[in-house]
Structure 1
Amino acid sequence: MIQKSHITQFQYAAQHKPNQLIYGSGQTAIITGWTVKQAIAKHLQTSDYAVIGQLYSPTRGINLLIRNLLLNPHVRYLVIINATKEDRNAGASQCLLDFFNSGVEENISDTGRKSWVIRSQIPGYIDIEIDINALEKLRQSLEVVEAKSISEAVEKIQFYAQKPTIEPWGTPLEFPMLTIEPTVLPGTRYGHRIEGKTIAETWVKIIHRIKTTGTIRPTGYDGKWQELIDLMAVVTEEPEDFYFPEPNYLPIDRSFLTEYISQVLDDAPSREGVKYTYGQRLRSWFGKDQIEQVVDKLIGEIDAASAVMTLWDVKDHEKGGSPCLNHIWLRVVDNELSLTATLRSNDMFAAWPANAMGLRALQKHIRDQINQRSEYDLRMGPLMTISQSAHIYDDTWSNAEQLIKQQYAAVCRKLDYADPAGNFLIEVANGEIVVTHTTPGSGEIVGCYSGKNALKLVREICTASPAIRPDHAAYLGMELQKAVDCIKIDKPYVQDQ
């Protein structure tokens, strides 16, 4: 038989994420998982492969990958790299292998839609609109192998590249795809604050805020996202062993978290195909262990405002692949250690819960080290994240809507009525409304307002106390109007009655 020549024979056509792929002219598709695709491409000729692409998520990525493969029946070989901690954590490469080994069955996806569910311990879904016969034909027509390293992958790819060219397994297939364009309500684009006791509770509130008022914009990744700019999330009472709801609606579980925390706390050797870990950036990237530095800094000067760690390298501007987490600041106030982290770009649906738990683990590690090495006995203060681009990608909009439908009302019912801005005591005296503002807890009087116009009083109070909670301001408005009505009909007014 004639060996395949090195002239262009096939052209891979990608309907989904076309700008995220590296194209060749061969018959082997290479799925790199979390390994940087360029780390594979540099060892190959373009004639060795049809396409190279990364696969991060089984629930978000496999469906689009399968659609692209159905559109390119000239692909006859599939090399799936399953090599890193991140691959094992995410499970996407394994789930794709399970698809080719075990197929699918009809069931319900994580968004509540009827879907093809991959027979795997790792959740993975394919749109029900894709004909099952096409999926089975694809499974039967591709030779699929797993690679545990870059060198093993390159060896397998080059082996397939030496095989004779074979005919495509069929004609290109394209199936309709459901798209959802969200309704966006008016709202502030810049500068938001969301607070919750736990990461889970705060996350639901974040998703609701972005989903209802976020601006829809194109991304640099062949899609759209819904975005708010500069969103500060404050988590006040996350337990030290972390809170996972039952049933767990977070996009991570404890086993994933264990691996993820190590990527935040621990140093890691440089490996080909792996960009970095946050722990590597904090521990050794700049030649100093920054975690140790801030521990020493705060032990030596407990009131220091310069306990800072940075993950941004000026070289990141040149080479790309810059870290999303850029800056961490720790501060001790009233014997509490708080941590503030700035993330330049933050996938709030899929990544923020893990980001927050990893940062909370870092915060606890630093608190524990300070307590062990000094006479201080610090408590855990709040965790704050400032997400400069807080966004939800379009391929999780359905998931976000499902989360809001199932969890947001329940989270709102757990409202804590204590307002840090204080309490307001309302009474009527000499035909006027008198409002006394007291501090939370101690009840110290810090302000007094009087008048006969409810709206004017509310505006005066909110101007003087701009941090008052919106629901508290609404309550004041209702109570003050009740007081006005009581004055009009000469009826005694009693607050909350």
Structure 2
Amino acid sequence: MVSTLRLGVYVHSSYKKTSSKLLTCRMVQFVSSRYARESNHVTSDTSINLTINLTKGLCNQDLELYSLIACYYIIGTIWMVPSLVIYVRARILPEAWEASLVKLSEVGKVVYTEYNEKSIDAPAVIVVEEPFTEPRIHLKGIVAGSLKGLLDYVDEVIKGIHDNLVDKVGYTYHERLFTYRLPNGEVINQIQKVIEKLRKTSYTRRAQAITWQPWKDLETEHPPCLQRIWFRVIDGKLVMHVHMRSNDALKAAYMNMYAFTELQKYVASKVGAEVGYYLHIADSYHVYEKDWKWFNSFVEQIKSGYSRNRWRKTHEYLEMVSKLENIESKAL
């Protein structure tokens, strides 16, 4: 693959030879698109369109400097995500989760953990464009001891069914989001505050909820992985950005994303909006060493397409849960 520097030199020298800004602009667009396709870096349609718009602007300028900027800066920098960062954009939830695991296997680095165990690790940015388009369920991602565990986890996040265990386990996401307790004893329902703020000003940039309590979490062995959730209504749709400090990519990420999108739907219903895209950011997106064999095997299944046999529509999943519960009740 031709390097960014060589591409820049090639196009810039062509500018000097042809003395044609229009031709140079066309070449910048061509080389930019070619570089985007052939490089290992992740690109986005928006960024490529930005490149094209900038090079169109170049055609209307008289200064040779703009050619140099286009060649060295636009091609080399403006749309590239560093190769050590996972960037995934997918239409539905199971597809996004699978793609993130494949990317982790490709760019992840071995990093030691505070649990005396290695992990394969990388920062991750995952965009789910249509989080409620079916199929939504990935059976492989339900790591909760039972098939129904996914539904229980949603109830834990939204309804607080395990808040009675906070003194024992340290926190639940519902407890931190819906009953955030300050050192002076004051309790804040952050999600209700978010709803009220969005009802008043749908485009606000201030509708967010946090989990971190530095007076407690800096000293505990198991602080919350979820750090912050940000909401905004754009074009009548509620978008949600979730920021995790740490996320087990194999054993937790899918269930996290599923439950958080259910929270997104809950808030959307309260503010009278449809559900928009979902953005999941993890500073440490990782798989522990003890799970590497399982992880590598699953990645191969994803690449072959076999893993899609584990995708289910929501009603299919609920039917499976119901049948299993009937079998278990009869066994009693």
Q: TM-score w.r.t. structure 2 length? A: 0.61
Provide Cα deviations, 1:28-53, integer angstroms capped at 9, x if missing partner. Answer: xxxxxxxxxxxxxxxxxxxxxxxxxx
2:290 counterpart letter in structure 1:
D
Name 2:204's counterpart in structure 1.
Answer: 304
Residue 337 (structure 1) aligned to one of 238, 256, 264:
238
1:74-473 paired onto structure 2 within 5 Å? 188=82, 190-229=84-123, 231-239=124-132, 243-245=136-138, 248-252=139-143, 255-267=148-160, 268-269=163-164, 271-286=166-181, 287-315=187-215, 316-371=217-272, 378-410=273-305
Kept in 1: contact 2:177–2:189 (CA 8 A): yes
SS at match of 1:260: helix
SS at match of 2:214: coil
1:285, distance to aligned residue in structure 2 (A):
2.3
1:271, distance to aligned residue in structure 2 (A):
4.6
Provide Cα deviations, 1:216-256, integer angstroms capped at 9, x if missing partner. Answer: 11111121100112x110011232776225xx333447511
Structure 1 distance, partners of 2:113, 2:220, is 19
Name 2:29's counterpart in structure 1.
Answer: none
1:319, distance to aligned residue in structure 2 (A):
3.5
2:127 counterpart letter in structure 1:
V
SS at match of 2:140: coil
Kept in 1: contact 2:86–2:103 (CA 8 A): no
More helix by share: 2
1:190, distance to aligned residue in structure 2 (A):
4.3
| 5+ residue gaps, structure 1 | 1-186, 372-377, 414-497
Structure 2 distance, partners of 1:257, 1:206, is 20
Q: CA RMSD in A?
A: 2.3
Provide Cα deviations, 1:201-225, integer angstroms capped at 9, x if missing partner. Answer: 1111111111122111111112110
1:25-44 paired onto structure 2 within 5 Å? none
1:199, distance to aligned residue in structure 2 (A):
1.8
Structure 1 distance, partners of 2:120, 2:219, is 27
2:219 counterpart letter in structure 1:
E
- Kindly name which structure, 1 or 2, has the bigger radius of gyration based on alpha carbons: 1
Kept in 2: contact 1:343–1:387 (CA 8 A): yes
1:410, distance to aligned residue in structure 2 (A):
2.6
Kept in 2: contact 1:215–1:228 (CA 8 A): yes
- Larger RCO (alpha carbons 8 Å, 6+ apart): 2
1:283, distance to aligned residue in structure 2 (A):
1.0
Kept in 1: contact 2:301–2:307 (CA 8 A): no
SS at match of 2:263: helix
1:200, distance to aligned residue in structure 2 (A):
1.2
Kept in 2: contact 1:188–1:213 (CA 8 A): no
Structure 2 distance, partners of 1:257, 1:412, is 19
Distance 1:304 1:401, change over 3 A: same
Structure 2 distance, partners of 1:302, 1:339, is 13
| 5+ residue gaps, structure 2 | 1-80, 182-186, 309-332
Structure 2 distance, partners of 1:352, 1:277, is 16
Provide Cα deviations, 1:111-151, integer angstroms capped at 9, x if missing partner. Answer: xxxxxxxxxxxxxxxxxxxxxxxxxxxxxxxxxxxxxxxxx
Provide Cα deviations, 1:396-441, integer angstroms capped at 9, x if missing partner. Answer: 111111112112243999xxxxxxxxxxxxxxxxxxxxxxxxxxxx
Kept in 1: contact 2:240–2:264 (CA 8 A): yes
Kept in 2: contact 1:348–1:390 (CA 8 A): yes
2:114 counterpart letter in structure 1:
G
1:282, distance to aligned residue in structure 2 (A):
0.6
1:359, distance to aligned residue in structure 2 (A):
0.5
Provide Cα deviations, 1:353-398, integer angstroms capped at 9, x if missing partner. Answer: 0110111010000001112xxxxxx221111110001111111111
Which deviates the most, 386-395 or 268-277?
268-277
Name 1:453's counterpart in structure 2.
Answer: none
SS at match of 1:273: helix
Structure 1 distance, partners of 2:196, 2:303, is 42
Q: How many matched pairs?
A: 218
SS at match of 1:249: helix
Distance 1:271 1:387, change over 3 A: closer
SS at match of 1:269: helix
Structure 1 distance, partners of 2:131, 2:166, is 34
Kept in 2: contact 1:303–1:332 (CA 8 A): yes
Kept in 2: contact 1:295–1:369 (CA 8 A): yes
1:336, distance to aligned residue in structure 2 (A):
1.1
Provide Cα deviations, 1:71-124, integer angstroms capped at 9, x if missing partner. Answer: xxxxxxxxxxxxxxxxxxxxxxxxxxxxxxxxxxxxxxxxxxxxxxxxxxxxxx
SS at match of 1:382: strand
Kept in 2: contact 1:198–1:238 (CA 8 A): yes
Kept in 1: contact 2:117–2:288 (CA 8 A): yes
Name 2:35's counterpart in structure 1.
Answer: none
